[in-house]
Amino acid sequence: MINKIKYEQLLNNTIKDINKDNIKNINELLIYINENKPKSLFRYRSCNEQSIEAFRENKIYFNIASNFNDPYDCLIYCDIDKILNQVQDIFDYKNIENLHKVVIDESHLNTRPVNINKETAQQIINNFKNKNIKDVFSNISEESIDNIKNFIKNLTPNILENYKNYYQNNQPLACLSETYNNILMWSHYADNHKGFVIEYETEKLKTNCMPCTNNQSYQTCPNWKQIMLLPILYTNKRYDATNYIFENTIIQTLKNVGVENVFQLSDDFAQYKINIHKHKCWSYEKEWRLQLFRLNNENFITVKPKAIYLGCKISKFYEDILVKYASEQNIEIFKMYENPKNIKYSLTRKKYTKKSSNAKVNNKPS
């Protein structure tokens, strides 16, 4: 089981430090997640043609955050004014030589020879470390600096909207839960208990590219797919992506004048953190999130389920269809039941038998 304090600590450790091995810290995080993930994860579904066909074909389809019921899901937060002011200061032509001094000799931090705050100067040291910034900018003329300023000015009105659009509308995500018997989730995500839940063995939540049997690079394989499985971190504050967007803005700005591969992100895991922060009010969901990376337009992965759970209010029409498809693949079938004789509010699963459903009328719901 994931310990929230430990998980949050490991997430914070992915930020690069000149005295730390960042790759080692990311690996430590991924190892911790892998060693503490549940054996099974569950997906709540409504009964409709798409979800039933996906179950029959063993497909997990991905969605985008703008379609989710939380308006803050993947809604990026940053201090946009701070970012733009810092970027404009960095690309002031008179500061370039002084920037070189800051990078080469950290003692210049104390005198602050450039018109930026100490925290930003420290970022520059870390991200340009061991690179001669004077050489990097030697081919950038004052005219190019003017072009940079115009580029930044044109970027200003759209930068936050562009990132919001990317994270809420362009990242394929699939949501799963640690539990199959949450009454509220059956109501929210399985059509008021008239739907079903699919159980997946966590170890099988992977693509054929893990590892690649053909030893192909993702850059040359048109069928390349990869996924990342991470638990949601429930907090009272949104993830602050200011540094991430600031650094990406510098990279874009340099690229605009033909300078590439000289500035690095201080947190290579930031892009994932944006997707896994949710408010504590959602913590009852115990969510794990799949993120899909692919080169083609296929919006699914293929994984055979371990079991299916039929809602306590499911219609006989949909029940028969799902039982048929599950039986054809030897997928375990359970039925959920209320507990009227129990003082507690709870749902119980029972192994499915035809006898248990004989009282229902075999009509398609309207």
Confidence bin at 153 (pLDDT 50/70/90)? low
Is the predicted pLDDT of residue 8 greater than 70, yes or no? yes
What is the predicted pLDDT for the residue at 114? 46
Mean pLDDT of 4-30: 83
Give dist(CA 3, CA 334) in Å, integer: 30
What one-letter code names the amino acid at 41? Answer: L
Give dist(CA 42, CA 198) in Å, integer: 6
Is the predicted pLDDT of residue 247 greater than 80, yes or no? yes
What is the predicted pLDDT for the residue at 327? 97
**Paired sense of beta strands 59-61 and 225-231, if any:** unpaired
What one-letter code names the amino acid at 117? Answer: N
Is the predicted pLDDT of residue 145 greater than 80, yes or no? no
Confidence bin at 225 (pLDDT 50/70/90)? confident
Give dist(CA 225, CA 298) in Å, integer: 9
Write the pLDDT tens digit of every residue in 289-334.
999 988 778 899 999 999 999 999 999 999 999 999 999 999 999 9
Which of 1-5, 74-78, 149-153, 327-331 is least confident? 149-153
For 281, the 3-state DSSP assignment is helix
- Which letter, b or e, does each residue of 181-204 get, where b requires 16 or more Cβ atoms within 10 Å of its Cβ? ebeebbeebbbebbbbbbbbebee
User: Which residue(s) pair with 351 in the sheet?
Assistant: 334
Contact in structure between 262 and 132 (CB atoms under 8 Å): no
Higher pLDDT among residues 55 and 215, named by residue = 55
Give dist(CA 180, CA 197) in Å, integer: 7
| Among 32, 317, 254, residue whose Cα is nearest residue 128 | 254
Give dist(CA 127, CA 103) in Å, integer: 9
Question: Over pLDDT 90: what percentage of the chain?
Answer: 52
**Paired sense of beta strands 233-235 and 277-279, if any:** parallel
For 328, the 3-state DSSP assignment is helix
Higher pLDDT among residues 366 and 70, named by residue = 70
What is the predicted pLDDT for the residue at 341? 87
Helix 316-328 crosses helix 49-56 at what angle (to 10 degrees)?
A: 20
Tokens, residue 2: 């994931």
3-state SS, one letter per residue, for 39-104: CEEEEEECCCHHHHHHHHCCEEECECHHHCCCCCCCCCECCHHHHHHHHHHHCCHHHHHHHHHHHH
What one-letter code names the amino acid at 25? Answer: N
Which of 123-127, 188-192, 206-210, 275-279 is least confident? 123-127
